[in-house]
């Protein structure tokens, strides 16, 4: 009976041991956990950012990138409300400054990543030849991003004001939730013209650039990047930020119409 008892005890321990190890976090085939980084990025970055994600995934298979694309002001509010974000790339300094003032970013991680250009676009068959044409009553609808939350909209308001057009065209403005919506409105013919970044115009369908806004008509268009202070993956977030500011990434950004900030 004693032999039977000890046999049953050994059998129990042998079967219970592996089962007791099953409560840990899931691991990848290589034995290391996959880290998921959440990157909140201005909507205008979508195409370039998606390509860079593919490049980085091949280099760092243990890191998964999830993007949240929206207007920079919307992303700023989400971060202020506690959204789980590791890295933020804004299309304007104002939004990043607001987070810095509230102590929500790691200040030493902040860099000016990119620059862009504001342009006036319309359908290919337009008769519009320049900004002055926006004053023509025949131009019924003009779209810009909502200035209070969309940096491209803020730059557009500044430019239109400097060009003496803001007051006259204001009743005909169609405000959009982000710069990509402005592009869509022009592509679909829902508006006669719109103001977007050159990087957006480059991917537009059946549209053309009518004119560039004078550089002195609006604040410099700068895309700052910073790691969010409450990130749970500090080293991985810093590594991805370093990749985005590398010469390899610069080539991708430039392909999509961005200008790389030179440090």
Residue 79 has pLDDT above 50, yes or no: yes
Q: Could you tell me the CA-to-CA distances from 233 to 20, 26, 58, 164 in Å, in that order?
A: 28, 17, 19, 48
Cα–Cα dist 186/159, whole Å: 19
Q: Residues near 253 by Cβ (< 8 Å), separated by ≥ 6?
A: 48, 114, 260
First to last CA, the chain: 80
pLDDT of residue 9: 40
* Residue 237 contacts residue 120 (beta carbons within 8 Å): no
Residue 30 has pLDDT above 70, yes or no: no
Domain 35-115+221-260 in CATH 3.90.1150.10? The answer is no
- Tell me the average pLDDT across 70-84: 96
pLDDT of residue 261: 82
For the chain, the domains span 35-115+221-260, 118-217
- Tell me the average pLDDT across 194-216: 96
pLDDT of residue 22: 33
* Identical fold, 35-115+221-260 and 118-217: yes
Cα–Cα dist 158/181, whole Å: 20
**pLDDT band for position 262 (cuts 50, 70, 90):** low
DSSP string, 99-138: HHHTT-B-GGG-EEEEE--EEEEEETT----SGGGGGSTT
pLDDT of residue 263: 55
| CATH class assigned to 118-217 | alpha beta
Nearest Cα neighbor of 38 from 88, 82, 72, 73 is 88
State pLDDT tens for residues 125-182: 999 999 999 999 999 999 999 999 999 999 999 999 999 999 999 999 999 999 999 9
Cα–Cα dist 62/186, whole Å: 40
Residue 60 has pLDDT above 60, yes or no: yes
**pLDDT band for position 29 (cuts 50, 70, 90):** very low
The CA R_g of the chain, rounded to the nearest whole Å, is 25
- Tell me the average pLDDT across 2-20: 40
């Amino acid at each position: 009976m004693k032999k039977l008892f000890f046999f049953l005890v050994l059998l129990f321990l042998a079967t219970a041991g592996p089962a007791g190890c099953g409560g840990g976090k899931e691991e990848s085939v290589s034995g290391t956990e996959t880290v998921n980084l959440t990157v909140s990025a201005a909507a205008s970055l979508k195409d370039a950012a998606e390509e860079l994600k593919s490049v980085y995934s091949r280099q760092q298979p243990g890191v998964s990138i999830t993007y949240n694309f929206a207007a920079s002001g919307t992303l700023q509010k989400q971060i202020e409300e506690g959204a789980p974000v590791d890295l933020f790339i804004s299309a304007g300094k104002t939004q990043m400054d607001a987070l810095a003032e509230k102590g929500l970013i790691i200040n030493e991680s902040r860099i000016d990543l990119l620059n862009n250009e504001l342009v006036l676009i319309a359908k290919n068959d337009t008769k519009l030849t320049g900004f002055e044409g926006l004053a023509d009553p025949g131009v019924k609808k003009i779209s810009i991003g909502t200035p209070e939350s969309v940096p491209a909209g803020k730059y557009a308001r500044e430019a239109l004001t400097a060009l003496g057009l803001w007051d006259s065209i204001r009743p005909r403005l169609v405000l959009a939730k982000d710069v990509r919506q402005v592009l869509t409105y022009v592509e679909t013919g829902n508006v006669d013209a719109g103001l977007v970044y050159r990087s957006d115009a480059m991917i537009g369908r059946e549209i053309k650039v009518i004119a560039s806004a004078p550089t002195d008509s609006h604040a410099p268009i700068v895309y700052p990047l910073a790691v969010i202070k409450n990130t749970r993956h500090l080293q991985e977030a810093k590594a991805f930020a370093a990749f985005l500011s590398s010469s390899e990434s610069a080539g991708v950004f430039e392909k999509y119409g961005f200008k790389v900030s030179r440090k």
